[in-house]
Amino acid sequence: MIKTKSQGSLIIISGTTCAGKGTVIKKLLSLHNDIVLSISYTSRPKRESEIDGVDYYFVTKKEFEEKIAKGDFLEYAKVHYGDYYGTPKKEVIKKLESGKDVILEIDVEGAKQIKEKFPETILIFIMAPSMEEVKRRIKMRGDENNEQIIKRFKRAYQEINQVNNYNYVVVNDDLDEAVKKVEAILVSEKLRVDRIEEIAVENEEEIIHEFLMDKDFDNTPRTFE
């Protein structure tokens, strides 16, 4: 009776530093083949461990700016050290039209840009259980000095203040539980009434008549003692 829209959902997952959003996304993708991650473009140099077309699409700053001029990005930003990052428009729309749900792993500013263009976007914010836990996770990395850690903390507090712009918040204190919560969000979004494309309902009188005439339906009056 009910036909839902076949187009996939656009999902933004953001989070504070060391909240584990990348790990949540990776686990989610391993469990669902109808969910894909959008690969961003960047003008920063490729690290030795990274693969072009898997981690990012690596382009020069000039190539990136040419794409900006052509309107090739759903959103983009120029971050620290002057490097660009952007979400490709054509690839994302193509995946959505094929029925795939598309995850964008972007920051709060990028999320704001996307939400303005696509109000139906699902926004999920991943948080660590506490800032003390964030501090512990950063120290476990052991690859940043005190100045860099302080910058990360300041950025984290700024991002937390933007959480009201999101639809959902998931605290990642247990990976499996966090993934289950994200899955529950996506299922509930699929059941929204505004995703219904068509409701096929027959004439009310015909349905009642067929129901009463059904040989398996016994409409003999009953008496009760």
Structure tokens at 156: 């984290």
Q: What pLDDT was estimated at residue 139?
A: 74
CA atoms of 173 and 95, how far apart (whole Å): 31
Q: What pLDDT was estimated at residue 200?
A: 57
Q: What pLDDT was estimated at residue 219?
A: 57
Q: What pLDDT was estimated at residue 132?
A: 82
Range with top average pLDDT, 10-14, 155-159, 163-167, 197-201? 10-14
Report the length, in residues, of the chain: 225
Give residue 18's region: left, alpha or beta (phi > 0; psi -120 to 50): left
C-alpha distances (whole Å) from 104 to each of 48, 107, 146, 147 are 24, 9, 30, 29
- What is the identity of the amino acid at 119? P
> No. of H helices and E strands in the chain?
8, 11
Going by C-alpha positions, the residue among 15, 17, 24, 14 that lies closest to residue 137 is: 17
Q: What pLDDT was estimated at residue 169?
A: 96
Q: What is the pLDDT of residues 23-77, one digit of tens each?
A: 999 999 999 999 999 999 999 999 888 999 999 999 999 999 999 999 999 999 9
Average pLDDT value over all residues in the chain: 85
CA atoms of 71 and 152, how far apart (whole Å): 31
Q: What pLDDT was estimated at residue 5?
A: 64
C-alpha distances (whole Å) from 122 to each of 24, 87, 162, 183 are 16, 16, 15, 12
Pairing of strands 196-199, 2-4: antiparallel
3-state SS, one letter per residue, for 125-184: EEECCCHHHHHHHHHHHCCCCHHHHHHHHHHHHHHHCCHHHCCEEEECCCHHHHHHHHHH
Q: What pLDDT was estimated at residue 130?
A: 85
Given pLDDT bands bounded at 50, 70 and 90, which one contains residue 82? confident
Architecture of domain 2-38+100-213: 3-Layer(aba) Sandwich (3.40)
CA atoms of 114 and 124, how far apart (whole Å): 13
Q: What is the pLDDT of residues 114-152, one digit of tens each?
A: 999 899 999 999 998 887 887 787 777 766 677 777 777
C-alpha distances (whole Å) from 203 to each of 44, 198, 212 are 62, 16, 15
Structure tokens at 34: 């109808």
